[in-house]
């Protein structure tokens, strides 16, 4: 099972809130199943639509385990574009939404199936 550092999820929520009404997006870094850091690529992290991650250059960093992005509309479900992106980007993906609290997220596997993610 995946877990994420509480400090990091709070930082992600702040960034998601700050980006509203645009989307916030970043890649996730993990060690031994614990997501501890996000990786952002300047210029490609925000967009009005779900296209941002296709610009990332793939396979540059093996500690990257997936992605996180916000849904400004608050719907914590992956779009078709998200599902395509999830498949390319690793085993764990997070979607955040309002009210951007510690629990305002859902994690998914590469097929878009909801998976548990423990805040530690
Ligand atoms: Zn999305």
CATH code at position 47: 3.40.140.10
26: containing domain: 2-119
Q: Please write the tens of the pLDDT for every residue from 35-48.
A: 999 987 654 445 55
Phi, psi of 35 (to 5 degrees): -75, 120
CA of 10 to the centre of ligand 1 (A): 19
Which residue among 14, 23, 81, 102 is the active-site one?
23
pLDDT of the residue at 104: 96
pLDDT for the residue 1: 92
DSSP 3-state of 31: strand
Of 101, 45, 112, which is closest to residue 77 (Cα–Cα)? 112
Name the domain count of the chain. 1
Residue 23 is a catalytic residue:
yes
Q: What is the pLDDT of residues 68-105, one digit of tens each?
A: 999 999 899 999 889 988 988 889 999 999 999 999 99
- Separation of CA 69 and ligand 1 centre (Å): 6
Peptide bond into 108 cis (omega under 30): no
pTM above 0.85, yes or no: yes
pLDDT at res. 30: 95
Give me the residues near ligand 1 (ion), CB cutoff below 5 Å: 50, 79, 82
């Amino acid at each position: 099972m995946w877990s994420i550092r509480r400090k990091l999820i709070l930082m992600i929520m702040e960034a998601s809130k700050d980006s509203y009404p645009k989307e916030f997006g970043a890649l996730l870094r993990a060690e031994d199943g614990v997501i501890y850091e996000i990786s952002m690529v300047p210029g490609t992290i925000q967009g009005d639509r779900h296209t941002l991650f296709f610009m990332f250059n793939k396979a540059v960093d093996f500690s990257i385990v997936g992605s996180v992005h916000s849904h400004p509309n608050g719907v914590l479900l992956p779009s078709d574009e998200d599902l395509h992106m999830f498949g390319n980007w690793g085993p764990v993906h997070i979607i955040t939404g309002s009210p951007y609290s510690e629990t305002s997220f859902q994690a998914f596997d590469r097929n878009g199936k909801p998976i548990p993610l423990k805040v530690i």
